Structure 1
Amino acid sequence: MAWSPSLIPGLDDIVNNGDPRRRADAAHKISELFLAGAPQFRPAHVDLFDGILTGLVPHTEIASRADLAERLSMLGNAPPALVDLLVREDEISVAGPLLRRSPVVAEPTLIEVARMKGQGHLLAMSQRPKLSAGVTDVIVRRGDREVVRRVAGNAGAQFSQFGYSSLIKRAGGDGVLTLTVGQRGDLSAPQLKELLAGSADIVRRRLFEVAKPDKKAAINQAMVEIIGAPKQSDIRRDFAPAQRAILSLHHAGELNEAALLGFAKAHKYEECVAALSAMSAARIATIDRLLTGDRHDPVLILGRAIGLEWATVRALIVLRLGLGRVPSATDIEEARLNYERLAASTAQRVVNFWQTRQTA
């Protein structure tokens, strides 16, 4: 690379032998010269400045490098070798502006920086106008909560199947991330369903409230599949005797929560279903399908809709698993927390939906 001696007299000597002050002064003057003429420079001119500045800029103070990086980040023809040098700096005030917006930073460099640097670099990178799936894979894997939330909310970010699976997994313990991922336009229906299945009811409701109309429809459909359409039980049950017993209790004024709790503790499944049907005004067939589904959510919804205490709801959860099976401590604690968060009005709306559906 040939250097132009007309830029600064004695430039060769300054680069090779100059003291820090002379180098910094030369870097400032040449940087200003480049920035002033950048819109008109041809690639050969850019290469000339690139070769000179990469020998001078590293010797300048952090504040000077940070200011230069900020200005270079706006240019589509910034000196590539200089940008590559600055973007790898540990000092985030220098690397940050280039990571956030410079179009000159190549994807392999972004991936390398994402793998090697800290959370400040990842956070800056997550704000780029566009991010490939190769870059977001690394960001989601290495990023802390703030970084992952930020990249999930970046409409210009693309995610691979691995990236989305990781986001959904992390969203299980992060309501803010659930809301962010749930509003993405490129989230598929199966991914939305998986996201909602692992989230708390209060988060689901909030997501529905803030979602766009087309997304609301997708959320509704996902919730129907998760809660409203459980699998049919393979066991054929005769509910007629239980119906008669529950009707007698009702006429005697003794159909209450205490009776339901007694049936659940005694593992009297048919009586529990018949009692829940009478107390919720949902058909026995509907209650039976709900209790034999894969999740505890319908039990929580029924319990909240008819005002049951947690002890009764817990007994119903144990009942639906069958004799000899008990939920894990983690599952039962998660169910308890979800039950506490579940609003009675929301539960009643779901029960009303079940009632309307069974009528239709």
Structure 2
Amino acid sequence: MIKTLIHEMEHAVTIGTPDQRAAMLRRITALFTDHAVALGESGIEPFDAIILHLARNVEAAARSALAEEIADIANAPRRVVRDLAFDPQITVAGPVLARSVRLDEDDLLRIVREAGPLHLDAVSRRRTLSERITDILVTRAATQAVRRIAGNETAHLSSTGFGTLVDLAGKDPVLRAVLDLRRSIPELRRIETPPLSPASPGGVDLEEKAIVALVVQGRVDDALAAIARIAGVPTEMASQAHRNPDLDPLLFLLRASDLGWGTLKHLIQARSGRRLSPEDMRGTFEAFQALSVATARRSVRFTASKGRTKAA
């Protein structure tokens, strides 16, 4: 069968029309996909050679269709995938760059070092990315791709790569929000990197860094006492806000203290009980940003004064 296919392929490539070559490519690709599950590497090799030869002799539309067809096949022909990945046309390269597991790491590295923004965007959509890849992407990719990487928990970040994201987040509130919701952070950055605050782009003061450090160390009561001092309210009020099932008291207290979203997020994560879903956390972030410091202070002062009156 393979000899017959090779003969038909050579005929199509040599004297066939573009439509005939494209039809031949579709026929052989369909034959491969029908049997791919049962094929080992030795069985894939003949298809690799035939499909590659045909794919190099068809128009872009046929190559695009081929890329879509094989991008999700776990044992797709390696040389074909590589050839498509390096195609300058994003409609051809995009599907395999974004989805194929048959691309070698070294090929991906070359692409992210040399390719344009559309190809980088496609790579950023991969389910899993190594630190070597993300280190380059966060410096070369467009804003949307960088945000996507920051929000992808299986896109591994080195300490250097995460530091680059933190620097970029100083001018990008959406990226700040995405980073604040990220669970996997390089260990070296957990202490070195200040929490990201929408209220103070680019960093926070030393006192807030100390509060976050207390929370990270498990000394939540000490952190709440420090926050109460900043807000000018009794320590018990801060403790009650942290224990309250409703997040509003804690949100208002942090906003009134002019502390950042990162600090609030750490305190939320330190609460006992059900953890917030990513959707709920995003909703809380949006509420935090929408609340002005002045409004929060008026509310906290009123609540504190009511508490003092009741105690008296």
Query: TM-score w.r.t. structure 2 length?
Result: 0.64
Distance 1:133 1:189, change over 3 A: closer
Q: How far apart are the structure 2 equivalents of 1:120 and 1:53?
A: 26
Q: How far apart are the structure 2 equivalents of 1:79 and 1:347?
A: 65
Q: Is residue 152–residue 180 contact of structure 1 (8 Å, CA) maintained in 2?
A: yes
Q: How far apart are the structure 2 equivalents of 1:48 and 1:33?
A: 12
Offset, 1:106: 1.1
**Corresponding residue for residue 184 of structure 1:** 182
* 1:54 is the counterpart of 2:5: no
* 1:84 is the counterpart of 2:82: yes
Q: How far apart are the structure 1 equivalents of 2:53 and 2:173?
A: 48
**Corresponding residue for residue 119 of structure 1:** 117
Q: How far apart are the structure 2 equivalents of 1:112 and 1:347?
A: 56
Offset, 1:138: 0.8
| Structure 1 spans left out of the alignment, 5+ residues | 205-216, 230-276, 283-299, 305-337, 353-360
Q: How does 1:171-210 map to 2 (within 5 A)?
A: 171-187=169-185, 191=189, 196-197=194-195, 199-201=197-199
Could you say what secondary structure the match of 2:3 adopts? coil
**Corresponding residue for residue 10 of structure 2:** 12
**Corresponding residue for residue 355 of structure 1:** none
Instruction: Give the number of aligned pairs.
Output: 237
Distance 1:191 1:48, change over 3 A: same
Distance 1:10 1:94, change over 3 A: closer
Match of 1:27 among 11, 25, 28: 25
Q: How does 1:33-48 map to 2 (within 5 A)?
A: 33-48=31-46
Q: Is residue 153–residue 184 contact of structure 2 (8 Å, CA) maintained in 1?
A: no
| 1:126-185 Cα deviation digits (max 9, x unpaired) | 121111000001110101211100011111110111101101110111111111112222
For residue 183 of structure 2, what is the amino acid of its counterpart?
G
| Structure 2 spans left out of the alignment, 5+ residues | 203-214, 235-254, 260-288, 305-312
Q: How does 1:318-337 map to 2 (within 5 A)?
A: none
Q: How far apart are the structure 2 equivalents of 1:26 and 1:302?
A: 69
* 1:342 is the counterpart of 2:290: no
For residue 99 of structure 2, what is the amino acid of its counterpart?
R
Q: Is residue 75–residue 102 contact of structure 1 (8 Å, CA) maintained in 2?
A: yes
Q: Is residue 135–residue 160 contact of structure 2 (8 Å, CA) maintained in 1?
A: yes
**Corresponding residue for residue 101 of structure 2:** 103
Q: Is residue 100–residue 127 contact of structure 1 (8 Å, CA) maintained in 2?
A: yes
| 1:69-89 Cα deviation digits (max 9, x unpaired) | 122111111000000000111
Could you say what secondary structure the match of 1:38 adopts? helix
For residue 117 of structure 2, what is the amino acid of its counterpart?
Q
Distance 1:219 1:144, change over 3 A: farther
Q: How far apart are the structure 2 equivalents of 1:129 and 1:220?
A: 33
Match of 1:161 among 156, 159, 162: 159
Percentage of identical aligned residues: 29
Q: How far apart are the structure 2 equivalents of 1:124 and 1:61?
A: 21
Could you say what secondary structure the match of 1:156 adopts? coil
Distance 1:101 1:14, change over 3 A: same
Offset, 1:193: 6.3
Q: Is residue 171–residue 195 contact of structure 1 (8 Å, CA) maintained in 2?
A: no
Larger radius of gyration: 1
Q: How far apart are the structure 2 equivalents of 1:82 and 1:189?
A: 39
| 1:2-29 Cα deviation digits (max 9, x unpaired) | x932226443343345443332222121
| 1:275-334 Cα deviation digits (max 9, x unpaired) | xx9x9689xxxxxxxxxxxxxxxxx97799xxxxxxxxxxxxxxxxxxxxxxxxxxxxxx
Distance 1:19 1:169, change over 3 A: same
Query: TM-score w.r.t. structure 1 length?
Result: 0.56
Q: Is residue 138–residue 161 contact of structure 2 (8 Å, CA) maintained in 1?
A: yes
Offset, 1:97: 1.5
Q: CA RMSD in A?
A: 3.9
Distance 1:125 1:343, change over 3 A: farther
* 1:141 is the counterpart of 2:139: yes
Q: Is residue 182–residue 192 contact of structure 1 (8 Å, CA) maintained in 2?
A: no
**Corresponding residue for residue 93 of structure 1:** 91
Distance 1:302 1:110, change over 3 A: closer
Q: Is residue 74–residue 101 contact of structure 1 (8 Å, CA) maintained in 2?
A: yes
For residue 51 of structure 1, what is the amino acid of its counterpart?
A
Q: Is residue 126–residue 154 contact of structure 1 (8 Å, CA) maintained in 2?
A: no
Q: How far apart are the structure 1 equivalents of 2:232 and 2:35?
A: 76
For residue 342 of structure 1, what is the amino acid of its counterpart?
V
Could you say what secondary structure the match of 2:37 adopts? helix
Q: How far apart are the structure 2 equivalents of 1:119 and 1:129?
A: 18
Q: Is residue 123–residue 150 contact of structure 1 (8 Å, CA) maintained in 2?
A: no
